[in-house]
């Protein structure tokens, strides 16, 4: 099977799968929500093709967040995050760029606007990338991120999560989402998660523990499969729009 992604017309998104744009429980949606109805348009060549990424664009440690910042090991629980990128008909999507970013083990991002009092890990940058193989598979070695408080309600906390960006085989398949961890009690308490109306859509954001991929005496593993476009698609991160 070739590593080149398949291109062609895209199935229209099912917007009922995504949260309403205006959800007052998630405070920033109040100012970001559009005042007029969204207009659905068919895909054109510009949405159906490109961009294309190759493995020659990646560094040796790009998918190893434990070592890729300074070469010294980051602090925290070592985990593998892996899965497949599939299209709306369950076919693998090869040769697409998957990027992740996350907080460190203490729940703090390496970002100048992160004011949480948890310490920064000097050896953890929090970003990684890889390209799917011929079977649509990807894999990262990282640390489990910590939960952190955020100024939405009096005592709101974000669950442990990893941000995921996938370019797909064309701009129309661009996806930005979040991966949560099986068993985290903060998932049900999160105002962002609770904007999603369908419990099945929330379930698709929760990565189950995968002991079959865990490495004994080293790290646990979590599987997060991503579906682009169509009725089975992985849910978008809360945003105003999206083709």
CA–CA distance, 147 with 217 (Å, rounded to integer): 25
111 assigned to active site? no
Strand duo 137-143 + 78-86: pairing: antiparallel
Catalytic residue, chosen from 161, 204, 229, 235, is 161
Catalytic residue among 148, 222, 229, 235: 148
Is there a catalytic annotation at residue 161? yes
| Concatenated DSSP letters of 152-208 | TSTT-EEPSEEEEEE-TTSGGG-EEEEEEETT-TTGGG-TTGGG---HHHHHTTEEP
Q: Which of 109, 138, 180, 222 is catalytic?
A: 109
**Annotated catalytic residue, options 82, 84, 129, 163:** 163
The Cα-based distances of 216 to 78, 80, 164, 201, 220 in angstroms read 12, 12, 26, 32, 8
| Residue in 13, 18, 158, 229 annotated catalytic | 158
Is 109 a catalytic site residue? yes
The backbone torsions φ and ψ at residue 148, rounded to the nearest 5 degrees and listed phi first, read -150, 155
What residues are annotated to the active site? 109, 148, 158, 161, 163
């Amino acid at each position: 099977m070739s590593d080149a992604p398949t291109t062609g017309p895209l199935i229209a998104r099912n917007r009922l799968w995504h949260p309403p744009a205006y959800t007052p429980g998630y405070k920033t949606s109040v100012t970001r929500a559009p005042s007029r109805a969204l207009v659905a348009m068919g895909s054109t060549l510009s949405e159906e093709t490109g961009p294309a990424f190759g493995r020659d664009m990646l560094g040796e440690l790009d998918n190893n967040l434990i070592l890729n910042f300074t070469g010294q090991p980051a602090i925290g629980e070592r985990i593998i995050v892996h899965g497949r990128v599939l299209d709306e008909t369950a076919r693998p999507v090869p040769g697409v760029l998957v990027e992740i970013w996350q907080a460190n083990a203490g729940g703090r991002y390496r970002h100048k606007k992160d004011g949480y009092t948890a310490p920064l890990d000097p050896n953890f940058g929090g970003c990684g990338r890889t390209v799917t193989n011929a079977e649509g598979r990807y894999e990262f070695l990282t640390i489990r991120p910590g939960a952190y408080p955020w100024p939405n309600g009096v005592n709101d906390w974000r669950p442990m999560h990893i941000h995921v960006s996938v370019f797909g085989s064309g701009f129309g398949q661009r996806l930005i989402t979040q991966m949560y961890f099986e068993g985290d009690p903060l998932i049900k308490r999160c105002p962002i998660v609770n904007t999603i109306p369908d419990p099945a859509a929330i379930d698709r954001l929760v990565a189950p523990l995968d002991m079959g991929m865990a490495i004994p005496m080293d790290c646990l593993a979590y599987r997060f499969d991503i579906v682009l476009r169509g009725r089975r698609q992985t849910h978008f991160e809360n945003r105003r729009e999206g083709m």
